[in-house]
Amino acid sequence: MASEITYAEVRFKNELKSSGTNSDSPAAPKENTTPLKSNPAFPKLLLGSLLILFLLLAILFFVAFIIFFNKYSQLLEEKNYKISTKTSIHTNLKCVRNNSTMEGKVWTCCPEKWKSFSSSCYFFSTDAKSWNDSQENCSRMEAHLVVINNKEEQDFLTQNMDKNAAYFMGLSDPEGEGRWQWVDQTPYNQSATFWHPGEPSHSEEHCVIVNHPSTSLQWGWNNILCKDRQRSVCEMMKIYL
């Protein structure tokens, strides 16, 4: 830049000097017109770079604003989450820090006294109710009767159950026609069921329990009368904070 400036100044002086001898040589005017043009262009160049600088600053501010706004709205969202969980019926949560680098949802929580497995929380009742009342009781706790999706979940559940009890789950056959329905509308998958041998039986028994009869070697499912009073298991999605 500095060398350009001196170059322009020198040329300008040269031109003033040679202005009198303009007609002397044909090459002289040519030589002079170029520096003349470049000189007024210099403030233009400065103005242009200032404009670019200003634009860059404006963009920078805009980006900074966007980032700030995102952070701020994320904070707001998180706060709302905490407020809504406080106003929910579950006042005491047990949380574990989730290792994933995903921002925001880093804590996974289950209500106190509930057990955690995979992405769900489970409540094992010690009192007994009919199937309808059990499901309604789960509903009141923002949950539903347990839906067993695979062997791992079945095993987790039975590990937490009392062999001397039976537990209602979220499977029923309201019409008594063998059309088994999960309470959360999960499609019934025959190959992911754990019926005791010979079950289901008796078409008037529309509701399903998990139990471990003394006559059986293992845990399994059995259909019983819905009005029977049994323990139950409620399931809900883990809460993300």
Ligand X SMILES: *[C@@H]1O[C@H](CO)[C@@H](O)[C@H](O)[C@H]1NC(C)=O
The distance of closest approach from Cβ of residue 124 to ligand X in the complex, given in angstroms and rounded to an integer, is 9
Residue 108 lies near ligand X (rule: CB under 6 A):
yes
Q: Is residue 110 a contact residue for ligand X (CB under 6 A)? A: no
| Closest distance to ligand X from the beta carbon of 168 (Å) | 8
Query: Which window, 61-69, 154-162, 187-195, 212-220, contacts ligand X (CB under 6 A)?
Result: 187-195
223 near ligand X, rule: CB under 6 A: no
Contact region for ligand X (CB under 6 A) — 8-16, 51-59, 126-134, 194-202? 126-134
Contact status: 184 vs ligand X (CB under 6 A): no
Could you give the string, one character per residue 58-97, with x where binding to ligand X holds by CB under 6 A and - elsewhere? ----------------------------------------
For residues 174-184, b (16+ Cβ closer than 10 Å) or e, as one string? eeeeeebbbbe
What is the H or E stretch that residue 238 is in?
none
Number of residues that bind ligand X (CB under 6 A): 21
- Judged on CB neighbours under 10 Å (0-12, 13-18, 19+), 61 is exposed
> What span, in angstroms and rounded, lies between the C-alpha atoms of 237 and 241?
13
Give the separation between CA 9 and CA 3, rounded to whole angstroms.
Answer: 10
Closest CB 205 distance from ligand X, rounded Å: 11
Is 103 within 8 Å of 210 (Cβ atoms)? no
Kindly provide the residue ranges of all beta strands, DSSP E only, lying in the chain, ordered along the sequence.
93-97, 107-111, 115-117, 120-124, 144-145, 167-172, 181-182, 207-211, 220-224, 231-237, 239-240
Binds ligand X by CB under 6 A, chosen from 110, 121, 226, 239: 226
Between 15 and 182, whose beta carbon lies closer to ligand X? 182
Q: Which of 34, 49, 189, 203 binds ligand X (CB under 6 A)?
A: 189
With contact defined as beta carbons under 8 Å apart, do 180 and 173 qualify?
A: yes
d(CA 135, CA 230): 12
Q: Which two tokens stand for residue 235?
A: 């399931």
191 touches ligand X (CB under 6 A): yes
- Identify which of residues 9 and 112 has a Cβ nearer to ligand X in the complex: 112
Cα 95 from chain centroid (whole Å):
16
Task: Name the site residues for ligand X (rule: CB under 6 A).
Answer: 98-100, 102, 105, 108, 125, 127, 129, 132, 134, 137, 140-141, 150, 189, 191-192, 226-227, 232
